Structure 1
Amino acid sequence: MSRNISRGYPILLLVAVLAIPGFNSFSQSPKLHILDLESPAQLRAFLRYTPDRIPFVSAHRGGPRSGYPENCLATFENTLYRTWAILEIDPRYTKDSAIVLMHDPTLDRTTTGHGKVGDYTLKELRKLRLKDPEGQVTEYTIPTLGEVLEWAKGKTVLIIDQKDVSIAARVAEIKKHQAEANALLMAYNFDDAKLAYSLNPEVMMEVFVPDHAAADRFWQTGVPWENVVAFVTHTQPNDPAIFQHLHDKGVLAIVGSSRTIDKDYSEKKIPKSELDMGYHRIIDSGADIVEADLAIEAGEAMMARTKMKGSKGRFFKKKP
């Protein structure tokens, strides 16, 4: 009898372990959903509209959630373990002119520190710990923009917002780290887009093109359409035909969900099924990329309806 029990013990142990909440095949052999891009030309091809497009997500501030702070390397990896995504990040200067990732001008909301980011040196900021969206202190520290640019190579694409770092300084940082294949800049006006292109024609940008009139103004800058993706709106476009207009020029269109369905779901105003349908509606309206606060949920909703094939399928891979 004892031999039968001992023989069955490994099976019983396995059953017990599998019953532990959160333990599954993902935790045994996690794989990153990577965007395999090795050159600026490949990045332009990946971000060029084609009729066999593969919709994907832009993770706002990298995809923070419980246990994972915004603008944090561990958070970026957690997002990529669950879905393909590009990552929107926020740069700010320290007192000694290093560039770190931090959305707010102050430290209080997202770190154990207090006061302005620019009042501290990088060495001083390294001593702080990041907080997750619920305000819980984590073990994670503030990364520099350079560290994140190096980390992203062979994994994903960064969208570098402005905050207090000029377009010229962000172009220089990309060039310094030879990251033209894995980063693009957010340009808040067409003059900045024109300047960035003049400084480095290999650099891609996200520009704001909500309607036909804006598209016509952008064309006057002389910046090629192949160097940009277009952010259209955070809600519903006033010019629904803008998606087709951008597609005709080979431009991918971004729509944000953070102020609409992400917010409603986080505030428990809508169920998960309606959240998923909301992402589907955004894509069906003509958008190609959803900039989401709930990046994992958005990415998983899109993966459930999309086959990673066609001319863009070669860029979407999984690696340990």
Structure 2
Amino acid sequence: MTFQLRVLLVLAPILLPLRSSISQESAPTTTPLHRIVPQTPAELRELFRYTATRLPIVSAHRGGAGPGYPENCIATFEHTLAETFSMLEIDPRMTRDGHVVLHHDATLDRTTTGTGKLADKTLAELKQLRLKDSEGNVTDYQIPTLDEALRWAKGKTILVLDQKDVPLETRVGKISQHKAEAYAMMIVGSFKDVVACHRLNRDIMMEVMIPSHAKVQAFDALGVPWQNVIAFLGHVPPTDPSLYEAVHQKGASTMIGTSRNLDRVFHRRVRDAPDSLRRDYQMILGRGADVIETDLPREIGRLLYAPLSKSPLGHRLLRVE
């Protein structure tokens, strides 16, 4: 069975009944989680090695915020995994006293009860604040540290660490300290940093922007194994299937983003034009995308994975428990 046909079979029955019910969702601690469970760096590389029968994977942008659930918050991570298999993209930042916490913006105003620059605050000061959800409502949740997130993630999912203001060496050091190479990756912004990261720890996988055939060739010249990367092809999904194929020929998976395009019209279109929306997501997968980074991991996860826990399409590194 071709991958495209398999995707059509997986997606066809899912989107029609799909509706926006995020405000009614909850994730009590007793809820089984949709776990992605590589135990070694080699198993993580295996998960993202391109094969003709690979499974599409969702990556939750900032963890998958929603009503009642803030960005970059461990309770939100649990809420996402209660509904779907998902990697979690997170945003490390440095405090004034040298700790690493999770927070997207350089300032505190939008997503916390605090004000001003995060980098001007100590960890103790930040822990006095409370996080706001996606609608700006104050919750009981605190800003987590990267250490807390790494301890939580083991045996549950894969964290994808963005850079923000945290030096590459610090992020590598945190992953190494926690022996988290099997379940934590890094977004690396330049080919120079790709080489530096691989030199510091050869077991760390990276998400690397490779948006053109020229960049595929340039990465090839670095000497860093393709098995150590997922190629991010762009926030606007490329329409040229040959770019996806060029990465696949190297044995690597591709990632695209829908947070700046399809996600923004999802709820309207799922109501008004569900067939059209389904075709657009199918088209992205059909071109060759393997990982979809999205602000709507639960909705897109249901679209991709709803039958998976009861289907032979399941992967040994994905389980519900």
From the superposition, tell whether residues 22 and 260 of structure 1 become closer, same or farther in structure 2 (CA, over 3 Å). Answer: closer
Normalising by the residue count of structure 1, what TM-score does the alignment of the two structures yield?
0.87
Instruction: Map 1:224-239 onto structure 2 (within 5 A).
Output: 224-237=225-238, 239=240
Question: Which residue in the other structure is 1:8 paired with?
Answer: none
Task: Provide the rounded CA distance (Å) in 1 between the counterparts of 2:283 and 2:294.
Answer: 14
Instruction: Map 1:166-315 onto structure 2 (within 5 A).
Output: 166-237=167-238, 239-265=240-266, 268=268, 271=271, 273=274, 274-304=276-306, 309=312, 313-315=315-317
Conservation of the 8 A alpha-carbon contact between 1:58 and 1:86: yes
The farther-off stretch of 74-83 and 235-244 is: 235-244
Question: Which residue in the other structure is 2:154 paired with?
Answer: 153
Structure 1 position 42 matched with structure 2 position 43: yes
Task: Provide the rounded CA distance (Å) in 2 between the counterparts of 1:22 and 1:198.
Answer: 46
Q: Cα distance, 1:238 vs. partner?
A: 5.8
Determine what percentage of the aligned residue pairs are the same residue: 47
Q: Which amino acid aligns with 1:141?
A: Q
Task: Provide the rounded CA distance (Å) in 1 between the counterparts of 2:306 and 2:173.
Answer: 39
Partner of 2:282, secondary structure, is: helix
Conservation of the 8 A alpha-carbon contact between 2:269 and 2:277: no
From the superposition, tell whether residues 22 and 168 of structure 1 become closer, same or farther in structure 2 (CA, over 3 Å). Answer: closer
Q: Which amino acid aligns with 2:290?
A: D
Structure 1 position 120 matched with structure 2 position 124: no
The farther-off stretch of 218-227 and 233-242 is: 233-242
Q: Cα distance, 1:245 vs. partner?
A: 1.0
Task: Provide the rounded CA distance (Å) in 1 between the counterparts of 2:29 and 2:120.
Answer: 43
Q: Which amino acid aligns with 1:125?
A: L
Q: Cα distance, 1:168 vs. partner?
A: 1.4
Conservation of the 8 A alpha-carbon contact between 2:35 and 2:85: yes
Partner of 1:139, secondary structure, is: coil
Task: Provide the rounded CA distance (Å) in 2 between the counterparts of 1:221 and 1:28.
Answer: 44
Question: Which residue in the other structure is 1:15 paired with?
Answer: none
Q: Cα distance, 1:195 vs. partner?
A: 0.2
The farther-off stretch of 229-238 and 291-300 is: 229-238
Conservation of the 8 A alpha-carbon contact between 2:237 and 2:257: no
From the superposition, tell whether residues 126 and 145 of structure 1 become closer, same or farther in structure 2 (CA, over 3 Å). Answer: same
Structure 1 position 67 matched with structure 2 position 42: no
Q: Cα distance, 1:139 vs. partner?
A: 0.5
Task: Provide the rounded CA distance (Å) in 1 between the counterparts of 2:138 and 2:90.
Answer: 20
Conservation of the 8 A alpha-carbon contact between 2:131 and 2:138: yes
Task: Provide the rounded CA distance (Å) in 2 between the counterparts of 1:75 and 1:295.
Answer: 11
From the superposition, tell whether residues 118 and 238 of structure 1 become closer, same or farther in structure 2 (CA, over 3 Å). Answer: same
Conservation of the 8 A alpha-carbon contact between 1:279 and 1:290: no
From the superposition, tell whether residues 240 and 168 of structure 1 become closer, same or farther in structure 2 (CA, over 3 Å). Answer: same
Q: Which amino acid aligns with 2:248?
A: H
Question: Which residue in the other structure is 1:14 paired with?
Answer: none
Q: Which amino acid aligns with 1:147?
A: E
Q: Which amino acid aligns with 1:289?
A: V
Conservation of the 8 A alpha-carbon contact between 1:212 and 1:239: no
From the superposition, tell whether residues 198 and 278 of structure 1 become closer, same or farther in structure 2 (CA, over 3 Å). Answer: same
Q: Cα distance, 1:27 vs. partner?
A: 7.1
Larger Rg over CA atoms: 1
Number of residue pairs aligned between Structure 1 and Structure 2: 296
Task: Provide the rounded CA distance (Å) in 1 between the counterparts of 2:159 and 2:174.
Answer: 13
Conservation of the 8 A alpha-carbon contact between 2:240 and 2:287: no
Partner of 2:208, secondary structure, is: strand
Question: Which residue in the other structure is 2:7 paired with?
Answer: none
Q: Can you list the C-alpha shifts for 1:182-241, whole angstroms capped at 9, x where unaligned?
A: 101001111000000000001110001112110110111111000000100111316431
